[in-house]
């Protein structure tokens, strides 16, 4: 089975070798986005105070696999990923993740390196879920540099991947589907614009982006609103595929998601605004003479 190399950091924008065929690409990205959502959710859970995760599936995973990790984790940084299908039907995948973990005990910080191997399988609802986690032993490591790789870092990405799974037409849980269907969604594509509930706006959007997949390139958090618990994140997304006339289409999509964390720890999307931009890969873009 061929490895699919995810060369830099999967979860802040990686270089993927996604299939060119639109149908295969859609299958690839919807699977990838579903699995990435799960992994993000898992790490968010590990970073939740006292591991008080609210999702039933994560609670069950914690019971089985929490002891593989050190206590008092304050940061997790993903340093490498590798994904491969375990069968030709692509019902099972192996997702290897290399990590740096910051552990904090009474203000003393220790940095450790470890690897996780997730086995994903399609459940009866055709949704990918984590079936098994195996971890290497931890080793001492150097400092984590750069951003703060805390719970909110993973929350943003869990939501982003969940949304992209939905956009790709992947099966998602009924709760998620209901929430996303009713999310207020504004799409601006050149001189075309639609807004309303996502399930309605997508009818028009999907004429132009009919078959293909969304690859997340970057997630940026905007300054937190003065309203408590409301977050705003910007997603940079690459879409490749075909329109309804089977002509190939490239889209460089920027989305702004606003969401809030509820008292029970669940998140709820408030609104999504989407704009289509010029591609990033033209060397003279932005050059003014």
Partner 1 sequence: MPIYSGVGGDFSAINHNNQTIKLSDYNDKVVLLAFGYTNCADICPFTLGYLKGLYESLPEDNQKEVQVIFVSIDPEYDTPEHLKGFIEHFNKDFMGLTGSKKQIDHIVSLFQAEYQPLAEAKVKTKTMRRVNPKKDINASNDKALLFNHSVTIYLMDKQLRLRSLEYTGSAQSNFVFKIRELINE
Instruction: Report how many residues bind partner 1 under the rule CB under 8 A.
Output: 28
Q: Are strands 184-189 and 267-277 parallel, antiparallel or unpaired?
A: parallel
Residues 6+ apart with CB under 8 A from 134: 68, 116, 117, 119
Q: Are 65 and 133 in contact (CB under 8 A)?
A: yes
**Interaction between residue 207 and partner 1 (CB under 8 A):** no
Task: Give the shortest CB-276-to-partner 1 separation in angstroms.
Answer: 2
**Interaction between residue 251 and partner 1 (CB under 8 A):** yes
Minimum CB distance to partner 1 smaller for 156 or for 205: 205
**Interaction between residue 139 and partner 1 (CB under 8 A):** no
**Span near partner 1 by CB under 8 A; candidates 31-39, 169-177, 194-202, 241-249:** 241-249
223: left (phi over 0), alpha (psi -120 to 50) or beta: beta
Q: Which helix (H) or strand (E) holds 241?
A: strand 230-242
With CB under 8 A as the contact rule, the residue among 119, 127, 210, 249 that binds partner 1 is 249
**Interaction between residue 89 and partner 1 (CB under 8 A):** no
With CB under 8 A as the contact rule, the residue among 155, 208, 214, 231 that binds partner 1 is 208
With CB under 8 A as the contact rule, the residue among 112, 127, 189, 230 that binds partner 1 is 189
Q: Are 47 and 76 in contact (CB under 8 A)?
A: yes
For residue 137, the tally of other CB atoms under 10 A from its CB is 9
Q: Which helix (H) or strand (E) holds 267?
A: strand 267-277
Task: Give the shortest CB-273-to-partner 1 separation in angstroms.
Answer: 13
**Interaction between residue 77 and partner 1 (CB under 8 A):** no
**Interaction between residue 276 and partner 1 (CB under 8 A):** yes
**Interaction between residue 171 and partner 1 (CB under 8 A):** no
Q: How far apart are CA 209 and CA 189, in angstroms?
A: 11
**Interaction between residue 206 and partner 1 (CB under 8 A):** no
**Interaction between residue 188 and partner 1 (CB under 8 A):** yes
For residue 228, the tally of other CB atoms under 10 A from its CB is 8
Closest among 266, 273, 194 to 229, alpha carbons compared: 266
Q: Are 257 and 272 in contact (CB under 8 A)?
A: yes
Minimum CB distance to partner 1 smaller for 7 or for 23: 23
Task: Give the shortest CB-192-to-partner 1 separation in angstroms.
Answer: 7
Minimum CB distance to partner 1 smaller for 123 or for 248: 248
**Interaction between residue 237 and partner 1 (CB under 8 A):** no
Q: Are 144 and 77 in contact (CB under 8 A)?
A: yes
- Write out the two tokens for 47: 């970073």
With CB under 8 A as the contact rule, the residue among 248, 266, 268, 280 that binds partner 1 is 248
Contacts with partner 1 by CB under 8 A lie at 188-192, 208-209, 239-240, 243, 247-251, 253, 275-279, 282, 284-289
């Amino acid at each position: 089975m061929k490895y699919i190399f995810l060369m830099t950091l999967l979860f802040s924008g990686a270089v993927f070798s996604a299939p060119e065929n639109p149908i295969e690409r859609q299958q690839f990205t919807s699977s990838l986005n579903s699995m990435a959502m799960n992994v993000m959710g898992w790490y968010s859970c590990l970073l939740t105070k006292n591991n008080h995760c609210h999702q039933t599936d994560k609670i069950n995973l914690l019971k089985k696999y929490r002891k593989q990790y050190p206590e008092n984790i304050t940061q997790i940084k993903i340093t490498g990923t590798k994904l491969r299908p375990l069968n030709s039907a692509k019902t099972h995948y192996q997702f290897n993740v290399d990590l740096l973990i910051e552990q904090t005990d009474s203000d003393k910080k220790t940095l450790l390196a470890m690897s996780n191997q997730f086995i994903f399988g399609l459940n009866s609802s055709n949704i990918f879920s984590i079936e098994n986690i195996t971890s290497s032993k931890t080793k001492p490591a150097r400092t984590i540099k750069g951003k703060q790789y805390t719970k909110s870092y993973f929350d943003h990405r869990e939501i982003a991947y969940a949304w992209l799974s939905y956009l790709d037409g992947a099966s998602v849980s009924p709760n998620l589907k209901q929430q996303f269907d009713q999310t207020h969604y504004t799409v601006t594509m050149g001189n075309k614009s639609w807004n309303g509930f996502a399930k309605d706006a997508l009818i028009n959007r999907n004429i132009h982006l009919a078959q293909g997949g969304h690859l997340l390139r970057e997630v940026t958090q905007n300054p937190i609103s003065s309203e408590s618990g409301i977050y705003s994140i910007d997603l940079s997304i690459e879409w490749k595929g075909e329109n309804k006339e089977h002509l190939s289409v490239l889209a460089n999509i920027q989305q702004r998601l606003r969401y809030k964390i509820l008292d029970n720890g669940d998140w709820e999307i408030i609104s999504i605004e989407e704009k289509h931009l010029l591609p990033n890969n033209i060397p003279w873009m932005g050059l003014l003479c």
